[in-house]
Amino acid sequence: MENKVKKDPKYIFVTGGVVSSLGKGIISSSLANLLAARGFRVTIQKFDPYINIDPGTLNPYEHGECYVTVDGHEADLDLGHYERFTNIRTTRANNVTTGRIYQSVIDKERRGDYLGKTVQIVPHITDEIKRNVKQLGNTGDFDFIITEIGGVVGDIESLPFLEAVRQLRWELGRDSLVIHLTYVPFIAAAKELKTKPTQHSVKKLQELGIQPDVLVLRTEHDITAEARRKIALFCNVAPDAVVQSIDLPSIYEVPVAMHRQHLDDIVIRLTGAEAPMAEPHMQPWLAFLEKMHSADKPVTIGLVGKYVELQDAYKSIDEALFQAATYNGRKLDLRMIHSEKVTVENVDELLGEMDGVIIAPGFGQRGIEGKFTALKWCRENDVPTFGICLGMQCMVIEFARNVLGMADANSTEMDTTTRHKVIDLMEEQKSISNLGGTMRLGAYDCCLRKGTKAAEAYGAEIVSERHRHRFEFNDDYKGQFEAAGMICAGENPKTHLVEVVEIPGKRWFVGTQYHPEYSSTVLSPNPLFLSFVKAAIDYRAEKAATN
Protein backbone atom coordinates (compact mmCIF):
# COMPACT_ATOMS: atom_id res chain seq x y z
CA MET A 1 0.00 0.00 0.00
CA GLU A 2 1.46 3.33 -1.07
CA ASN A 3 2.15 5.84 1.72
CA LYS A 4 1.16 9.39 0.82
CA VAL A 5 3.53 12.06 2.13
CA LYS A 6 1.64 14.89 3.76
CA LYS A 7 2.73 18.18 2.19
CA ASP A 8 2.94 21.32 4.28
CA PRO A 9 0.58 24.06 3.14
CA LYS A 10 1.81 27.25 1.51
CA TYR A 11 1.09 30.54 3.29
CA ILE A 12 0.38 33.76 1.38
CA PHE A 13 0.25 37.05 3.27
CA VAL A 14 -1.57 40.01 1.71
CA THR A 15 -0.70 43.46 3.07
CA GLY A 16 -1.79 46.94 2.03
CA GLY A 17 -0.09 50.29 1.72
CA VAL A 18 -0.59 54.01 0.99
CA VAL A 19 -4.34 54.13 1.76
CA SER A 20 -7.06 51.81 3.03
CA SER A 21 -9.99 50.41 1.02
CA LEU A 22 -7.83 49.40 -1.94
CA GLY A 23 -9.43 45.98 -2.15
CA LYS A 24 -7.13 43.54 -0.35
CA GLY A 25 -10.16 41.32 0.18
CA ILE A 26 -10.99 41.27 -3.54
CA ILE A 27 -7.37 40.51 -4.50
CA SER A 28 -7.18 37.76 -1.86
CA SER A 29 -10.50 36.32 -3.05
CA SER A 30 -9.46 36.51 -6.72
CA LEU A 31 -6.20 34.71 -6.04
CA ALA A 32 -8.05 32.05 -4.04
CA ASN A 33 -10.48 31.72 -6.93
CA LEU A 34 -7.64 31.11 -9.39
CA LEU A 35 -5.74 28.68 -7.18
CA ALA A 36 -8.92 26.69 -6.52
CA ALA A 37 -9.58 26.64 -10.27
CA ARG A 38 -6.11 25.12 -10.69
CA GLY A 39 -7.12 22.24 -8.40
CA PHE A 40 -5.63 23.44 -5.10
CA ARG A 41 -7.47 23.30 -1.78
CA VAL A 42 -7.58 26.92 -0.64
CA THR A 43 -8.90 28.95 2.26
CA ILE A 44 -8.59 32.60 3.30
CA GLN A 45 -8.43 34.30 6.68
CA LYS A 46 -8.64 37.94 7.75
CA PHE A 47 -6.70 39.50 10.63
CA ASP A 48 -8.30 42.75 11.76
CA PRO A 49 -6.22 45.15 13.88
CA TYR A 50 -9.07 46.62 15.95
CA ILE A 51 -9.50 45.73 19.62
CA ASN A 52 -13.17 44.70 19.39
CA ILE A 53 -13.51 40.96 19.94
CA ASP A 54 -15.55 40.80 16.72
CA PRO A 55 -17.52 43.28 14.56
CA GLY A 56 -20.86 42.18 16.03
CA THR A 57 -21.18 45.30 18.21
CA LEU A 58 -19.90 47.72 15.57
CA ASN A 59 -22.33 50.14 13.95
CA PRO A 60 -22.59 49.45 10.18
CA TYR A 61 -21.59 53.09 9.62
CA GLU A 62 -18.30 52.24 11.35
CA HIS A 63 -17.41 49.01 9.62
CA GLY A 64 -20.01 48.10 7.03
CA GLU A 65 -21.90 44.83 7.09
CA CYS A 66 -21.36 42.27 9.83
CA TYR A 67 -21.02 38.90 8.12
CA VAL A 68 -21.94 35.63 9.87
CA THR A 69 -20.17 32.31 9.32
CA VAL A 70 -21.85 28.90 9.36
CA ASP A 71 -20.61 28.23 12.90
CA GLY A 72 -22.12 31.47 14.18
CA HIS A 73 -19.11 33.78 14.26
CA GLU A 74 -19.75 37.46 13.59
CA ALA A 75 -17.05 38.40 11.11
CA ASP A 76 -15.62 41.07 8.84
CA LEU A 77 -17.47 41.63 5.57
CA ASP A 78 -14.43 40.46 3.58
CA LEU A 79 -15.36 36.91 4.54
CA GLY A 80 -18.44 37.41 2.39
CA HIS A 81 -16.17 38.14 -0.56
CA TYR A 82 -14.11 35.04 0.26
CA GLU A 83 -17.20 32.84 0.12
CA ARG A 84 -18.76 34.49 -2.95
CA PHE A 85 -15.55 34.08 -4.96
CA THR A 86 -14.61 30.56 -3.87
CA ASN A 87 -17.75 28.71 -2.68
CA ILE A 88 -15.86 27.78 0.51
CA ARG A 89 -17.61 28.00 3.86
CA THR A 90 -15.74 30.10 6.42
CA THR A 91 -15.73 29.65 10.21
CA ARG A 92 -14.53 31.41 13.34
CA ALA A 93 -10.96 30.44 12.43
CA ASN A 94 -11.11 32.57 9.27
CA ASN A 95 -11.42 35.92 11.08
CA VAL A 96 -9.31 37.04 14.04
CA THR A 97 -9.10 40.48 15.65
CA THR A 98 -6.53 42.09 17.92
CA GLY A 99 -9.16 41.85 20.65
CA ARG A 100 -9.35 38.06 20.33
CA ILE A 101 -5.55 37.76 20.32
CA TYR A 102 -5.18 39.83 23.49
CA GLN A 103 -8.10 38.11 25.17
CA SER A 104 -6.52 34.71 24.53
CA VAL A 105 -3.11 35.83 25.84
CA ILE A 106 -4.63 37.42 28.95
CA ASP A 107 -6.70 34.28 29.65
CA LYS A 108 -3.51 32.20 29.43
CA GLU A 109 -1.68 34.59 31.76
CA ARG A 110 -4.51 34.40 34.32
CA ARG A 111 -4.35 30.59 34.22
CA GLY A 112 -0.62 30.67 34.80
CA ASP A 113 0.27 29.20 31.42
CA TYR A 114 3.32 31.49 31.14
CA LEU A 115 4.75 30.26 34.47
CA GLY A 116 5.19 33.72 35.93
CA LYS A 117 7.07 35.19 32.98
CA THR A 118 6.58 38.82 31.97
CA VAL A 119 3.98 38.80 29.20
CA GLN A 120 5.05 40.97 26.24
CA ILE A 121 4.09 41.89 22.68
CA VAL A 122 7.08 39.84 21.51
CA PRO A 123 7.03 36.89 21.88
CA HIS A 124 3.63 36.27 23.51
CA ILE A 125 1.29 38.34 21.34
CA THR A 126 3.19 37.52 18.14
CA ASP A 127 3.27 33.82 19.05
CA GLU A 128 -0.52 33.87 19.51
CA ILE A 129 -0.91 35.52 16.11
CA LYS A 130 1.31 32.88 14.51
CA ARG A 131 -0.66 30.11 16.23
CA ASN A 132 -3.86 31.49 14.71
CA VAL A 133 -2.26 31.86 11.27
CA LYS A 134 -1.27 28.19 11.31
CA GLN A 135 -4.51 26.91 12.84
CA LEU A 136 -6.15 26.26 9.46
CA GLY A 137 -2.93 24.88 8.00
CA ASN A 138 -2.57 22.35 10.80
CA THR A 139 -5.81 20.63 9.78
CA GLY A 140 -4.20 19.18 6.66
CA ASP A 141 -7.24 20.25 4.65
CA PHE A 142 -5.59 22.97 2.58
CA ASP A 143 -2.74 23.47 0.12
CA PHE A 144 -2.80 27.26 0.37
CA ILE A 145 -3.69 29.52 3.31
CA ILE A 146 -4.17 33.13 2.24
CA THR A 147 -3.94 35.57 5.16
CA GLU A 148 -5.12 39.14 4.67
CA ILE A 149 -3.68 41.64 7.16
CA GLY A 150 -6.17 44.45 7.77
CA GLY A 151 -5.19 48.09 7.86
CA VAL A 152 -2.28 49.85 6.17
CA VAL A 153 1.47 49.39 6.63
CA GLY A 154 2.52 52.15 8.99
CA ASP A 155 -0.53 51.88 11.25
CA ILE A 156 0.53 51.31 14.84
CA GLU A 157 -2.30 48.78 15.29
CA SER A 158 -0.90 46.49 12.59
CA LEU A 159 2.66 46.27 13.92
CA PRO A 160 2.27 43.03 15.96
CA PHE A 161 0.68 41.29 12.94
CA LEU A 162 3.44 42.42 10.62
CA GLU A 163 6.10 41.32 13.11
CA ALA A 164 4.43 37.91 13.20
CA VAL A 165 4.49 37.83 9.38
CA ARG A 166 8.21 38.69 9.43
CA GLN A 167 8.92 35.79 11.78
CA LEU A 168 6.78 33.38 9.76
CA ARG A 169 8.57 34.30 6.53
CA TRP A 170 11.85 33.18 8.09
CA GLU A 171 10.34 30.07 9.66
CA LEU A 172 8.42 28.92 6.58
CA GLY A 173 10.94 29.88 3.90
CA ARG A 174 9.75 29.05 0.40
CA ASP A 175 6.44 27.83 1.81
CA SER A 176 5.33 31.45 2.19
CA LEU A 177 5.30 34.71 0.28
CA VAL A 178 4.07 38.28 0.71
CA ILE A 179 1.82 40.15 -1.72
CA HIS A 180 1.73 43.90 -1.13
CA LEU A 181 -1.17 45.91 -2.53
CA THR A 182 -0.46 49.62 -3.01
CA TYR A 183 -1.97 52.64 -4.72
CA VAL A 184 -0.54 54.42 -7.77
CA PRO A 185 -2.31 57.81 -7.90
CA PHE A 186 -2.93 59.83 -11.06
CA ILE A 187 -2.18 63.54 -10.70
CA ALA A 188 -4.72 65.18 -12.99
CA ALA A 189 -2.92 68.55 -13.24
CA ALA A 190 0.30 66.86 -14.34
CA LYS A 191 -1.52 64.08 -16.26
CA GLU A 192 0.92 61.65 -14.70
CA LEU A 193 0.89 58.48 -12.59
CA LYS A 194 3.09 58.70 -9.50
CA THR A 195 5.03 55.67 -8.26
CA LYS A 196 6.62 57.34 -5.22
CA PRO A 197 3.82 56.39 -2.75
CA THR A 198 4.35 52.74 -3.67
CA GLN A 199 8.12 53.08 -3.19
CA HIS A 200 7.60 54.63 0.25
CA SER A 201 5.08 51.95 1.23
CA VAL A 202 7.46 49.14 0.28
CA LYS A 203 10.30 50.91 2.08
CA LYS A 204 8.17 51.03 5.23
CA LEU A 205 7.49 47.30 4.88
CA GLN A 206 11.20 46.65 4.41
CA GLU A 207 11.98 48.67 7.56
CA LEU A 208 9.81 46.16 9.41
CA GLY A 209 11.92 43.32 8.01
CA ILE A 210 9.50 42.20 5.28
CA GLN A 211 10.44 42.11 1.61
CA PRO A 212 7.35 41.70 -0.59
CA ASP A 213 7.57 39.05 -3.29
CA VAL A 214 4.70 40.37 -5.43
CA LEU A 215 3.31 43.88 -5.88
CA VAL A 216 -0.27 44.52 -6.95
CA LEU A 217 -0.75 48.13 -8.03
CA ARG A 218 -4.22 49.58 -7.57
CA THR A 219 -4.92 52.23 -10.18
CA GLU A 220 -7.57 54.06 -12.17
CA HIS A 221 -5.29 54.35 -15.21
CA ASP A 222 -3.19 51.83 -17.10
CA ILE A 223 0.35 51.64 -15.72
CA THR A 224 2.97 51.47 -18.47
CA ALA A 225 5.54 48.69 -18.67
CA GLU A 226 8.24 51.29 -18.07
CA ALA A 227 6.59 52.46 -14.84
CA ARG A 228 6.26 48.87 -13.65
CA ARG A 229 9.95 48.21 -14.35
CA LYS A 230 10.81 51.33 -12.36
CA ILE A 231 8.71 50.13 -9.42
CA ALA A 232 10.28 46.67 -9.61
CA LEU A 233 13.81 48.16 -9.60
CA PHE A 234 13.26 50.44 -6.63
CA CYS A 235 11.28 47.89 -4.61
CA ASN A 236 13.54 44.84 -5.10
CA VAL A 237 10.78 42.86 -6.80
CA ALA A 238 11.10 40.84 -10.01
CA PRO A 239 9.63 42.79 -12.97
CA ASP A 240 7.18 39.99 -13.84
CA ALA A 241 5.91 40.00 -10.23
CA VAL A 242 4.52 43.54 -10.56
CA VAL A 243 0.89 43.43 -11.70
CA GLN A 244 -1.78 46.11 -11.84
CA SER A 245 -5.33 46.06 -10.54
CA ILE A 246 -7.11 48.64 -12.65
CA ASP A 247 -10.70 49.75 -12.04
CA LEU A 248 -13.17 47.34 -13.63
CA PRO A 249 -16.96 47.50 -14.10
CA SER A 250 -17.45 44.58 -11.70
CA ILE A 251 -15.39 43.00 -8.92
CA TYR A 252 -16.16 39.62 -10.49
CA GLU A 253 -13.91 40.49 -13.44
CA VAL A 254 -10.85 40.79 -11.17
CA PRO A 255 -9.91 37.05 -11.15
CA VAL A 256 -9.80 37.07 -14.97
CA ALA A 257 -7.71 40.26 -14.98
CA MET A 258 -5.28 38.73 -12.46
CA HIS A 259 -4.98 35.53 -14.49
CA ARG A 260 -4.18 37.50 -17.64
CA GLN A 261 -1.21 38.93 -15.74
CA HIS A 262 -0.25 35.44 -14.49
CA LEU A 263 -0.68 36.17 -10.77
CA ASP A 264 -1.58 32.52 -10.11
CA ASP A 265 1.46 31.33 -12.11
CA ILE A 266 3.74 33.71 -10.18
CA VAL A 267 2.48 32.45 -6.82
CA ILE A 268 2.77 28.79 -7.85
CA ARG A 269 6.31 29.34 -9.15
CA LEU A 270 7.55 31.31 -6.16
CA THR A 271 6.19 28.79 -3.63
CA GLY A 272 7.34 25.75 -5.58
CA ALA A 273 3.84 24.26 -5.55
CA GLU A 274 2.85 21.58 -8.03
CA ALA A 275 -0.35 22.63 -9.77
CA PRO A 276 -2.84 19.81 -10.42
CA MET A 277 -4.01 21.71 -13.52
CA ALA A 278 -1.88 23.64 -16.02
CA GLU A 279 -4.67 26.17 -16.60
CA PRO A 280 -7.51 27.18 -14.27
CA HIS A 281 -10.91 25.63 -14.90
CA MET A 282 -12.92 28.84 -15.13
CA GLN A 283 -15.72 27.95 -17.54
CA PRO A 284 -18.55 28.36 -14.98
CA TRP A 285 -17.10 31.70 -13.85
CA LEU A 286 -16.68 32.91 -17.43
CA ALA A 287 -20.25 31.83 -18.19
CA PHE A 288 -21.46 34.05 -15.33
CA LEU A 289 -19.44 36.97 -16.71
CA GLU A 290 -20.93 36.37 -20.15
CA LYS A 291 -24.44 36.53 -18.68
CA MET A 292 -23.45 39.70 -16.82
CA HIS A 293 -22.13 41.41 -19.96
CA SER A 294 -25.02 40.33 -22.18
CA ALA A 295 -27.76 41.51 -19.79
CA ASP A 296 -29.25 44.68 -21.25
CA LYS A 297 -32.75 44.96 -19.75
CA PRO A 298 -33.05 46.30 -16.18
CA VAL A 299 -34.94 45.05 -13.15
CA THR A 300 -35.53 47.77 -10.55
CA ILE A 301 -35.35 46.76 -6.89
CA GLY A 302 -35.89 49.13 -3.98
CA LEU A 303 -34.00 48.35 -0.76
CA VAL A 304 -35.67 49.98 2.27
CA GLY A 305 -33.24 50.26 5.17
CA LYS A 306 -31.77 52.71 7.65
CA TYR A 307 -28.07 52.41 6.73
CA VAL A 308 -28.44 53.11 3.02
CA GLU A 309 -25.93 56.00 3.03
CA LEU A 310 -23.06 53.53 3.46
CA GLN A 311 -22.28 51.40 0.41
CA ASP A 312 -21.12 48.36 2.40
CA ALA A 313 -23.89 48.26 5.02
CA TYR A 314 -25.95 45.74 3.00
CA LYS A 315 -23.10 44.28 0.94
CA SER A 316 -24.23 40.64 0.91
CA ILE A 317 -27.80 41.61 -0.06
CA ASP A 318 -26.49 43.85 -2.85
CA GLU A 319 -24.34 41.04 -4.23
CA ALA A 320 -27.05 38.38 -3.88
CA LEU A 321 -29.43 40.62 -5.85
CA PHE A 322 -26.78 41.26 -8.50
CA GLN A 323 -26.10 37.53 -8.88
CA ALA A 324 -29.82 36.73 -9.09
CA ALA A 325 -30.44 39.47 -11.65
CA THR A 326 -27.51 38.23 -13.76
CA TYR A 327 -28.75 34.63 -13.78
CA ASN A 328 -32.20 35.93 -14.72
CA GLY A 329 -30.65 37.78 -17.67
CA ARG A 330 -31.18 41.28 -16.25
CA LYS A 331 -29.13 44.28 -15.15
CA LEU A 332 -29.75 45.17 -11.52
CA ASP A 333 -31.03 48.70 -10.96
CA LEU A 334 -30.83 48.93 -7.16
CA ARG A 335 -32.45 51.95 -5.49
CA MET A 336 -31.51 52.66 -1.87
CA ILE A 337 -34.47 54.09 0.08
CA HIS A 338 -33.95 55.44 3.60
CA SER A 339 -36.65 54.00 5.84
CA GLU A 340 -36.71 57.16 7.99
CA LYS A 341 -37.84 59.11 4.94
CA VAL A 342 -40.74 56.84 3.96
CA THR A 343 -44.11 58.31 4.91
CA VAL A 344 -47.76 57.72 4.02
CA GLU A 345 -47.60 60.89 1.91
CA ASN A 346 -44.58 59.95 -0.22
CA VAL A 347 -44.56 56.13 -0.27
CA ASP A 348 -46.29 55.93 -3.64
CA GLU A 349 -43.72 58.26 -5.16
CA LEU A 350 -40.76 56.42 -3.56
CA LEU A 351 -41.88 52.87 -4.43
CA GLY A 352 -44.09 53.38 -7.48
CA GLU A 353 -41.33 52.60 -10.00
CA MET A 354 -40.07 49.50 -8.19
CA ASP A 355 -40.41 46.02 -9.68
CA GLY A 356 -39.68 44.51 -6.28
CA VAL A 357 -38.90 45.70 -2.76
CA ILE A 358 -36.47 44.38 -0.13
CA ILE A 359 -37.14 45.25 3.51
CA ALA A 360 -33.67 45.18 5.03
CA PRO A 361 -32.47 43.67 8.32
CA GLY A 362 -31.20 45.72 11.24
CA PHE A 363 -31.59 46.43 14.94
CA GLY A 364 -33.41 49.11 16.92
CA GLN A 365 -36.33 51.50 16.67
CA ARG A 366 -34.94 54.07 14.24
CA GLY A 367 -36.60 53.97 10.82
CA ILE A 368 -38.99 51.16 11.78
CA GLU A 369 -42.22 53.05 11.05
CA GLY A 370 -41.04 53.75 7.50
CA LYS A 371 -40.63 50.00 6.98
CA PHE A 372 -44.21 49.41 8.18
CA THR A 373 -45.47 52.07 5.77
CA ALA A 374 -43.52 50.55 2.86
CA LEU A 375 -44.80 47.05 3.67
CA LYS A 376 -48.43 48.14 3.86
CA TRP A 377 -48.09 49.81 0.45
CA CYS A 378 -46.35 46.75 -1.07
CA ARG A 379 -48.93 44.33 0.36
CA GLU A 380 -51.91 46.35 -0.79
CA ASN A 381 -50.43 46.97 -4.26
CA ASP A 382 -49.25 43.36 -4.62
CA VAL A 383 -45.62 44.26 -5.35
CA PRO A 384 -43.06 41.40 -5.01
CA THR A 385 -41.63 41.89 -1.53
CA PHE A 386 -38.81 40.18 0.38
CA GLY A 387 -38.35 40.78 4.13
CA ILE A 388 -35.08 39.66 5.70
CA CYS A 389 -34.64 39.15 9.47
CA LEU A 390 -36.01 42.38 10.98
CA GLY A 391 -37.67 42.87 7.58
CA MET A 392 -39.60 39.62 8.14
CA GLN A 393 -40.53 40.71 11.66
CA CYS A 394 -41.81 44.01 10.26
CA MET A 395 -43.97 42.02 7.83
CA VAL A 396 -45.52 40.23 10.80
CA ILE A 397 -46.09 43.43 12.79
CA GLU A 398 -47.60 45.33 9.83
CA PHE A 399 -49.95 42.41 9.08
CA ALA A 400 -51.00 42.22 12.74
CA ARG A 401 -51.75 45.95 12.84
CA ASN A 402 -53.52 46.40 9.53
CA VAL A 403 -55.11 42.99 8.85
CA LEU A 404 -55.65 41.46 12.30
CA GLY A 405 -56.66 44.81 13.81
CA MET A 406 -54.04 44.78 16.58
CA ALA A 407 -53.26 48.48 16.41
CA ASP A 408 -50.47 48.37 19.01
CA ALA A 409 -48.86 45.13 17.76
CA ASN A 410 -45.09 45.32 17.97
CA SER A 411 -41.85 43.61 18.82
CA THR A 412 -40.71 43.80 22.43
CA GLU A 413 -37.41 45.03 21.01
CA MET A 414 -39.26 48.25 20.10
CA ASP A 415 -41.98 48.37 22.78
CA THR A 416 -41.89 46.24 25.92
CA THR A 417 -45.35 47.43 26.98
CA THR A 418 -47.31 46.37 23.88
CA ARG A 419 -50.33 44.13 24.51
CA HIS A 420 -49.68 42.20 21.31
CA LYS A 421 -46.12 40.88 21.39
CA VAL A 422 -46.19 39.27 17.97
CA ILE A 423 -42.38 39.35 17.99
CA ASP A 424 -40.76 38.48 21.31
CA LEU A 425 -37.85 36.80 23.06
CA MET A 426 -38.21 33.11 23.82
CA GLU A 427 -38.86 32.32 27.49
CA GLU A 428 -35.39 30.86 28.05
CA GLN A 429 -33.82 34.02 26.57
CA LYS A 430 -35.59 36.37 28.97
CA SER A 431 -33.54 35.18 31.95
CA ILE A 432 -30.21 35.90 30.23
CA SER A 433 -28.78 39.27 31.28
CA ASN A 434 -26.04 39.34 28.63
CA LEU A 435 -27.71 40.39 25.36
CA GLY A 436 -24.97 38.68 23.35
CA GLY A 437 -26.02 35.41 24.94
CA THR A 438 -29.54 35.75 23.53
CA MET A 439 -28.47 35.93 19.90
CA ARG A 440 -29.27 33.10 17.50
CA LEU A 441 -26.17 32.97 15.32
CA GLY A 442 -25.01 30.69 12.52
CA ALA A 443 -26.65 28.00 10.41
CA TYR A 444 -29.92 26.34 11.51
CA ASP A 445 -32.15 23.92 9.67
CA CYS A 446 -35.52 25.02 8.33
CA CYS A 447 -38.33 22.67 7.30
CA LEU A 448 -40.36 24.22 4.46
CA ARG A 449 -44.06 23.63 3.91
CA LYS A 450 -44.84 21.91 0.61
CA GLY A 451 -46.41 24.06 -2.06
CA THR A 452 -45.10 27.36 -0.68
CA LYS A 453 -43.07 29.79 -2.76
CA ALA A 454 -40.10 29.20 -0.48
CA ALA A 455 -40.23 25.42 -0.97
CA GLU A 456 -40.68 25.83 -4.73
CA ALA A 457 -37.69 28.19 -4.88
CA TYR A 458 -35.35 25.85 -3.01
CA GLY A 459 -36.71 22.67 -4.57
CA ALA A 460 -36.25 21.07 -1.15
CA GLU A 461 -38.11 20.59 2.12
CA ILE A 462 -35.10 20.99 4.44
CA VAL A 463 -32.61 23.84 4.04
CA SER A 464 -29.91 25.32 6.25
CA GLU A 465 -29.41 29.09 6.44
CA ARG A 466 -27.60 31.51 8.74
CA HIS A 467 -29.12 33.65 11.47
CA ARG A 468 -28.24 36.84 13.33
CA HIS A 469 -31.05 37.96 15.63
CA ARG A 470 -32.50 37.51 19.10
CA PHE A 471 -36.24 38.14 18.71
CA GLU A 472 -38.64 35.52 17.30
CA PHE A 473 -42.16 35.15 15.89
CA ASN A 474 -44.50 34.59 18.82
CA ASP A 475 -46.06 31.19 18.17
CA ASP A 476 -49.09 32.10 20.32
CA TYR A 477 -50.39 34.15 17.36
CA LYS A 478 -49.76 31.55 14.67
CA GLY A 479 -53.39 30.46 14.32
CA GLN A 480 -54.66 34.02 13.93
CA PHE A 481 -52.12 34.84 11.24
CA GLU A 482 -52.80 31.71 9.23
CA ALA A 483 -56.56 32.19 9.42
CA ALA A 484 -56.13 35.71 8.01
CA GLY A 485 -53.88 34.66 5.12
CA MET A 486 -50.26 34.90 6.29
CA ILE A 487 -48.86 31.39 6.66
CA CYS A 488 -45.81 30.11 8.48
CA ALA A 489 -44.06 28.55 5.50
CA GLY A 490 -40.98 27.31 7.32
CA GLU A 491 -39.94 26.38 10.84
CA ASN A 492 -36.99 24.90 12.66
CA PRO A 493 -37.56 21.13 12.95
CA LYS A 494 -36.25 20.97 16.55
CA THR A 495 -37.46 24.16 18.22
CA HIS A 496 -40.44 24.81 15.88
CA LEU A 497 -39.44 28.49 15.75
CA VAL A 498 -40.93 30.18 12.69
CA GLU A 499 -38.30 30.77 10.01
CA VAL A 500 -40.37 31.82 6.96
CA VAL A 501 -43.67 33.63 6.52
CA GLU A 502 -45.49 34.34 3.27
CA ILE A 503 -48.85 35.40 1.89
CA PRO A 504 -49.81 32.79 -0.75
CA GLY A 505 -52.40 35.05 -2.36
CA LYS A 506 -49.78 37.61 -3.38
CA ARG A 507 -47.40 37.54 -6.35
CA TRP A 508 -44.40 37.11 -4.07
CA PHE A 509 -44.58 38.22 -0.45
CA VAL A 510 -42.02 36.26 1.60
CA GLY A 511 -40.13 36.99 4.80
CA THR A 512 -37.25 34.98 6.26
CA GLN A 513 -36.03 35.13 9.84
CA TYR A 514 -32.64 34.01 8.53
CA HIS A 515 -30.21 35.78 6.19
CA PRO A 516 -30.23 33.93 2.83
CA GLU A 517 -27.83 36.51 1.38
CA TYR A 518 -24.93 35.08 3.41
CA SER A 519 -25.01 31.81 1.46
CA SER A 520 -25.36 33.32 -2.02
CA THR A 521 -22.24 32.97 -4.20
CA VAL A 522 -21.39 33.57 -7.84
CA LEU A 523 -21.52 29.89 -8.73
CA SER A 524 -24.33 29.00 -6.27
CA PRO A 525 -26.79 31.92 -6.11
CA ASN A 526 -29.35 31.66 -3.34
CA PRO A 527 -32.65 30.20 -4.66
CA LEU A 528 -34.85 32.69 -2.80
CA PHE A 529 -33.12 35.64 -4.43
CA LEU A 530 -33.43 33.98 -7.83
CA SER A 531 -37.16 33.44 -7.25
CA PHE A 532 -37.73 36.97 -5.92
CA VAL A 533 -35.95 38.64 -8.86
CA LYS A 534 -37.86 36.41 -11.30
CA ALA A 535 -41.13 37.57 -9.70
CA ALA A 536 -39.97 41.18 -10.01
CA ILE A 537 -39.18 40.69 -13.71
CA ASP A 538 -42.62 39.14 -14.31
CA TYR A 539 -44.28 42.03 -12.47
CA ARG A 540 -42.36 44.53 -14.60
CA ALA A 541 -43.60 42.76 -17.74
CA GLU A 542 -47.20 42.87 -16.44
CA LYS A 543 -46.93 46.60 -15.79
CA ALA A 544 -45.50 47.21 -19.26
CA ALA A 545 -48.28 45.18 -20.88
CA THR A 546 -51.03 47.17 -19.16
CA ASN A 547 -49.52 50.61 -19.86
Give the catalytic positions in this structure.
389, 515, 517
Q: How far, in Å, CA of 330 to CA of 358, rounded?
A: 17
SS3 184: coil
> Which letter does DSSP use for residue 504 in this model?
T
Number of C-alpha atoms within 13 angstroms, CB side, residue 102?
13
Q: How far, in Å, CA of 148 to CA of 88, rounded?
A: 16
Under 8 Å between Cβ of 15 and 179: yes
10 Å CB burial of residue 338 (0-12, 13-18, 19+) is: middle
Can you spell out the DSSP letters for 185-235?
-EETTTTEE--HHHHHHHHHHHHTT---SEEEEEESSPPPHHHHHHHHHHH
Under 8 Å between Cβ of 501 and 489: yes
Number of neighbours of residue 116 by Cβ within 10 angstroms: 7
Under 8 Å between Cβ of 511 and 360: no
10 Å CB burial of residue 393 (0-12, 13-18, 19+) is: buried
CB within 8 Å of 272: residues ≥ 6 apart? 174
